[in-house]
């Protein structure tokens, strides 16, 4: 795999040549700090750009064009990375070397920058019809969250932890807030995004540098970054959210209409170094609660004591948080909390085997090898390394191999309980 970076005017083009895949991907990323109240707006903007453009004014017309482009896959997404937002506009298509169509790459570039530079806007406002369609989509998603007890409990627990933290901000918001958003406001958000954000363009595929920057892509990029309005660039800040430790663990419970109770336990991760952040805590988490039927939490809480229907743990790197989630009967909640805390104590005391550690390493390395063989997950790993100071798949595999039991014990001692939240069944 060969890599080259071209930089100018607060924009970077990253060229990644690899012979692994028959497709190629172009991903245009805007990154900037984000406020909690703007997260739902960026989500709505991603749906608007997915729905239509000035040249392709309906979802159907856009789909027909993508079909003509040999079933190219186009996607817009908005993702919070700690304190920042990453707004991605990408397209994947078959490598031109497998086609008789010599203009295919040029056509893909034209389509991508057409939808970026010419959204479905009339008189400084997003098209009313498309706007109503995507607002309806988002309203349906907001309702869907209410039907998901696990997600509802998690969002509620984060607010109990600290409702002012961006970690507790909803990416969807509420229907009341959604109703207040206007097409004019969304167009201003779009302009602010493209005029005042850092831009990174990633191109990955089995093409040389000349092919990648051919197809007029550099000229189209100049159109994007050389606008007289593109000034006062807002640089991203540190991704890591400073979620405060607590002197006393918080506990709150609320009644619900769900058929099962949902327990969420939140833990802070304290003063991790880079290796611990990127690798060691992931390995700890696999042994602790993310490793399915083989995890310590499942073995203790589910199999040995039968206190829950399911239990697992998740690590949120940039929020400096670890979450334990469980579906259970309300009368088992306090006993489950004790068992989870005891399982953490056992990890801190080294009460897990070398076999547990080896199994976790092998399974995580297998997953990484799979990611290396998928163009989108490989690209995601490269983007994370470049934009978020992450590490490559190869570096992660090497680091996993070197981690010892003592490393796991050390990182386990940096996990501190913060909040226990119980959403009680009807």
Return the structure tokens found at 11: 């924009």
User: Can you give the residue ranges of every domain in the chain?
Assistant: 2-225, 250-424
DSSP calls for 18-32: -SS-SEEEEEEEEEE
Same fold, 2-225 and 250-424: yes
Q: What is the spatial distance between Cα 217 and Cα 171, in angstroms, rounded to a whole number?
A: 32
Q: What is the DSSP letter of 82?
A: T
Render each residue's pLDDT in the chain as its tens digit; 426 residues. 899 998 877 789 999 999 999 999 999 999 999 999 999 999 999 999 999 999 999 999 999 999 999 999 999 999 999 999 999 999 999 999 999 998 999 999 999 999 999 999 999 999 999 999 999 999 999 999 999 999 999 999 999 999 999 999 999 999 999 999 999 999 999 999 999 999 999 999 998 888 788 656 777 777 777 666 677 889 999 999 999 999 999 999 999 999 999 999 999 999 999 999 999 999 999 999 999 999 999 999 999 999 999 999 999 999 999 999 999 999 999 999 999 999 999 999 999 999 999 999 999 999 999 999 999 999 999 999 999 999 999 999 999 999 999 999 999 999 999 999 999 998
* 18 in Cβ contact with 206 (< 8 Å): yes
Tell how strand 23-33 and strand 198-205 pair up.
antiparallel
Architecture of domain 250-424: 2-Layer Sandwich (3.30)
Q: Which of the listed CATH numbers 3.30.70.250, 3.40.718.10, 3.30.830.10, 3.40.50.300 matches domain 2-225? A: 3.30.830.10
Token pair 């990182």 in the structure block, residue: 411
């Amino acid at each position: 795999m060969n890599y080259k970076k071209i930089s100018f005017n607060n924009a970077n083009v990253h060229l990644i040549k690899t012979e692994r895949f028959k497709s190629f991907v172009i991903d245009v990323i805007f990154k900037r700090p984000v406020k909690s109240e703007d997260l739902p707006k960026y989500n709505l903007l991603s749906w608007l750009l997915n729905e239509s453009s000035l040249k392709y004014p309906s979802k159907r017309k856009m789909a027909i064009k993508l079909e003509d482009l040999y079933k190219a896959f186009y996607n817009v997404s908005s993702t919070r990375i700690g304190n920042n937002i990453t707004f991605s506009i990408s397209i994947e298509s078959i490598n031109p070397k497998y086609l008789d169509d010599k203009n295919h790459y040029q056509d893909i570039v034209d389509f991508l920058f057409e939808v970026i530079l010419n959204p479905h806007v009339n008189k400084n406002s997003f098209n009313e019809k498309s706007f109503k369609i995507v607002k309806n989509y988002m309203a349906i998603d907001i309702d869907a969250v209410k039907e998901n007890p696990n997600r509802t409990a998690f969002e509620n627990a984060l607010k109990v932890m600290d409702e002012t933290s961006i970690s507790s901000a909803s990416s969807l918001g509420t229907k009341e807030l959604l109703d207040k958003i206007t097409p004019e406001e969304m167009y201003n958000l779009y302009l602010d995004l493209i005029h005042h954000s850092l831009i990174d363009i990633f191109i990955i595929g089995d093409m040389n540098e000349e092919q990648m920057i051919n197809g007029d892509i550099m000229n189209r990029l100049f159109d994007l970054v050389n606008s007289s309005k593109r000034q006062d660039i807002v640089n991203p800040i540190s991704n890591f959210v400073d979620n405060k430790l607590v002197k006393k663990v918080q506990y709150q419970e609320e009644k619900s209409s769900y058929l099962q109770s949902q327990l969420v336990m939140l833990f802070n991760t304290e003063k991790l170094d880079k290796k611990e952040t990127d690798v060691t805590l992931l390995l700890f988490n696999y042994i602790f609660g993310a490793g399915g039927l083989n995890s310590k939490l499942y073995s203790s809480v589910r199999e040995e004591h039968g206190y829950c229907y399911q239990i697992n743990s998740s690590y949120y790197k940039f929020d400096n948080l670890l979450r334990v989630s469980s579906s259970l009967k309300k009368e088992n909640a306090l006993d489950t909390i004790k068992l989870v805390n005891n399982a953490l104590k056992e990890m801190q005391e080294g009460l897990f085997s070398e076999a547990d550690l080896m199994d976790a390493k092998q399974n995580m390395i297998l997953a990484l090898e799979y990611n290396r063989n998928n163009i989108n997950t490989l690209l995601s790993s490269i983007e994370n390394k470049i934009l978020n100071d992450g590490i490559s798949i190869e570096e992660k595999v090497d680091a996993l191999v070197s981690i010892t039991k003592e490393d796991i014990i050390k990182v386990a001692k940096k996990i501190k309980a913060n909040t226990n939240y119980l959403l009680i069944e009807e």
